Chain A
Amino acid sequence: MIRIENLVKTFGAKRAVDGVSFNVERGEVLGFLGPNGSGKSTTMRMITGFYPPTSGRVSVGGHDVSVDPLAAKRLIGYLPESAASYPDMTVASFLGFVAAMRGLDGAARAKAVDRAIELCFLSSVVHQSIDTLSKGYKHRTCLAQALIHDPEVLVLDEPTDGLDPNQKHEVRNLIRELGKTKAVVFSTHILEEVDAACTRAIIIDRGRIVLQGTPEELQARSTLAGAVTLQADGASAEKLAVLGRVESLEGAFRIYPANASQGATLAAAVIELVNREGWKVRGMYSERGELDEVFRSVTQPDTVGA
């Protein structure tokens, strides 16, 4: 549904987005990760036609965004980073306005507004003016706006920003649910969301894609992936060292596989060793790898070259 080829956006001398290409098909949820200022929002603004690209091509549902922006925009539901809405309007009138702009009238409009209100849990504030709402409600009002015409493509810039943990959970479930029938791109800097909602993730840094793959593939790149953490009475680092590199933690040992292929069999090998030595096991964990660590290893901190 979304095709991006070699997308570039420069602001003055700064290349905010520098040759990004990717596709998102129906049924996919693409997580877009990156440090602040890495070009996530700029890319999304080019997908939605807000920024014209300096070079490169974006097409949505087969419509080139630069050539036929209206056809492309009709297919997209967009939650901007600012999650801005008109503060002097009520939630109902704001959603009604967006529905009207999306070409919905009469009964269809009322139905769309009701559906969006229900999806985003806004029924308690329908007739309140937006400037009296808390941040979470404002954010969900803007999310409701993006969903109102049941779009085929969803572009969500930090959809869980400013929500409480319960709301975050609900929104992630919603995204996963919507992702079954739509093409979804969402940006975040909360890494656990990748695991919770994405079918695929892209890490972008200083305008370039530095890593992409399924959440499992990304986690597997962590040095921690496949490592086994063992808490056992009588265990010693020397004896464990035959299995791989051993790190001593507080009251526990972590054994790293020598290579990725060994990862699958490491746990079995540890159990065998434990049985042979007669150690008393109090806990044993197989590590999946931390996205955090992968993220830090492929991106530069803000302070470098900023």
Chain B
Amino acid sequence: MRAIRIICARELTAYFTSPVAYVFLVIFLLLAGFFTFTAGAFFERGEAALGAFFGWHPWLYLVLVPAVGMRLWAEERRAGTIELLLTLPVTAWQAIVGKFLASWLFLALALALTFPIVITVNVLGEPDNGAIAAGYLGSFLLAGAYLAVTCMTSAITRNQVIAFILSVVVCLFLILAGFNPVTDFLVRWASPAFVDTVAAFSVITHFDGFQKGVIDTRDLAFFLSVIGFTLFATGVIIRGHRAG
């Protein structure tokens, strides 16, 4: 635990000693605001709910989360610091979890900074704050799932751009598998069972419940298993590089 905590603290500090953290936070908040109010027509809906806010998160994270996570391992490998890190008395999984948690906490901070929207709906009406809390939990898990995918793609290459693009592609698949236009298209030629199976891999399907204020253990299990699986894959990839 101690090693995880120290690595996590170092990574988190690294975000804030470079401009990355500030640029990211500003852009994240700007885009979240733009999508909610302009593209999501928050006021025109006339609802005291955050559907217009959370609904965009899978798309917003699609670009921003890989940008946060792409350096995690690619940069270590490019700079050669991975050799330093992994010859310290830590196991590879401690390093993987420590780095992942640092980025996840950073994303949690970005998400927490959207609190004015919660205040806004509470001022304007009487929203279901339980549903909003569930929405935040779902959004946090969604970010974690994307981030874990980015961890994995970041371990594949020493080039951050490649890590970013691979991650966007994988996350896009995770969205599109359950995106209505895609499922409608699939239904025309595939059996409903097949379409359901594909859709079950989608973050949209599992994120929907949270937005409605329902915390389903199946949805929780989905996000946690995406995180668990991709972090495990990260470990296998890192071991693979060293085994030669």
Using an 8 Å CB-CB cutoff, how does the interface string of A224-248 with B read, 1 for contact, 0 for none? 0000000000000000000000000
- Please report which residues of chain A, range 90-108, place their CB below 8 angstroms from some CB of chain B when the two chains form the complex: 93, 97-98, 100-103
Using an 8 Å CB-CB cutoff, how does the interface string of B79-113 with A read, 1 for contact, 0 for none? 11101101111110000000000000000000000
Q: Quick check: B81 and A51 within 8 Å, CB to CB?
A: no
Closest A residue by C-beta to B18: A88
Q: Quick check: A89 and B17 within 8 Å, CB to CB?
A: yes
Partner of A45, one of B79, B83, B91: B83
Q: Quick check: A70 and B89 within 8 Å, CB to CB?
A: yes
Q: Quick check: B87 and A50 within 8 Å, CB to CB?
A: yes
Given A84-B83, A86-B81: A73 and B242 within 8 A (CB)? no
A74 contact set on B, CB distance < 8 A: 89
How far apart are the CA atoms of A101 and B10 in the complex, in Å? 11
Q: Quick check: B80 and A101 within 8 Å, CB to CB?
A: no
Closest B residue by C-beta to A69: B91
Using an 8 Å CB-CB cutoff, how does the interface string of A1-27 with B read, 1 for contact, 0 for none? 000000001111000100000000000
How far apart are the CA atoms of A103 and B244 in the complex, in Å? 30
B80 contact set on A, CB distance < 8 A: 80, 82, 84
Closest B residue by C-beta to A10: B244
Total A-B Cβ pairs within 8 A: 74
Tell me whether B1 is interfacial, beta carbon within 8 Å: no
Between A54, A88, A102, the greatest number of chain B beta carbons within 10 A of the residue's beta carbon is seen for: A88
Tell me whether A48 is interfacial, beta carbon within 8 Å: yes
A129 contact set on B, CB distance < 8 A: 17
Which of the four size classes fits the interface of chain B?
20 to 34
Q: What's the least CB distance linking B11 to chain A, in Å?
A: 10
B7 contact set on A, CB distance < 8 A: 101
Q: A82-B79, A84-B84 are in contact. List 16 more A-B contacts (CB 8 A).
A: A9-B244, A50-B86, A51-B244, A70-B89, A73-B88, A80-B80, A82-B83, A84-B80, A85-B81, A86-B81, A89-B14, A98-B88, A101-B3, A101-B6, A102-B88, A103-B2
Interchain Cβ contacts under 8 Å between A and B, 13 examples:
A50-B86, A51-B242, A51-B244, A52-B243, A54-B244, A78-B87, A82-B83, A85-B84, A87-B79, A88-B17, A89-B14, A98-B88, A101-B88
| A interface list, Cβ under 8 A from B | 9-12, 16, 45, 48-52, 54, 69-70, 73-74, 76, 78, 80, 82, 84-89, 93, 97-98, 100-103, 129, 142, 145
